[in-house]
């Protein structure tokens, strides 16, 4: 399991009229952390595409525990749980020590050329994960 932590801040465009983060924006918070994570390990979406693969989200699960408000600074703790049949990440969003939200996402590996699901990760990703683990 590979873990990373990314800091973020609630911006004005993230909140509703009560200055509470709208629940749909948590998807964006996860996406930002996931993109940074993939970039940091050396296999971002551009590299995936250049290798001939796409990784669409096929499942998301959220548990909202506490709200975030305009101006709050928070951390997204992300862990790569699985790479074999799909990419599965877990997330924990925290403001200081307060748990805000727990989530998981799963992404299927798709061969762009024939639009077929792959049930094993591309060789490039296998090598990157092996080098990190």
pLDDT, tens digit (0-9, with 9 covering 90-100), for 123-132: 899 899 888 8
Q: What is the pLDDT of residue 130?
A: 87
- Crossing angle of helices 25-41 and 123-132, in 10° steps, is 80
What's the pTM? 0.94
Ranges of residues in the chain with a pLDDT under 50 are: none
For residue range 104-114, list pLDDT tens digits in order.
999 999 999 99
């Amino acid at each position: 399991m590979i873990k990373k932590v990314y800091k973020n801040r609630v911006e004005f465009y993230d909140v509703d009229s009560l200055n509470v983060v709208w629940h749909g924006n948590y998807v964006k918070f996860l996406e930002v952390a996931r993109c940074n994570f993939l970039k940091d390990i050396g296999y971002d979406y551009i590299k995936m595409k250049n290798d001939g693969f796409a990784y669409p989200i096929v499942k998301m699960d959220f548990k909202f525990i506490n709200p975030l408000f305009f101006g709050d600074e928070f951390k997204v703790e992300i862990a790569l749980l699985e790479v074999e049949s799909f990419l599965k990440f877990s997330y924990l969003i925290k403001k200081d020590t307060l748990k805000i939200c727990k989530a998981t996402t799963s992404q299927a590996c798709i061969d762009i050329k024939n639009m077929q699901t792959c049930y094993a990760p591309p060789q490039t990703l296998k090598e990157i994960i092996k080098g990190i683990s």
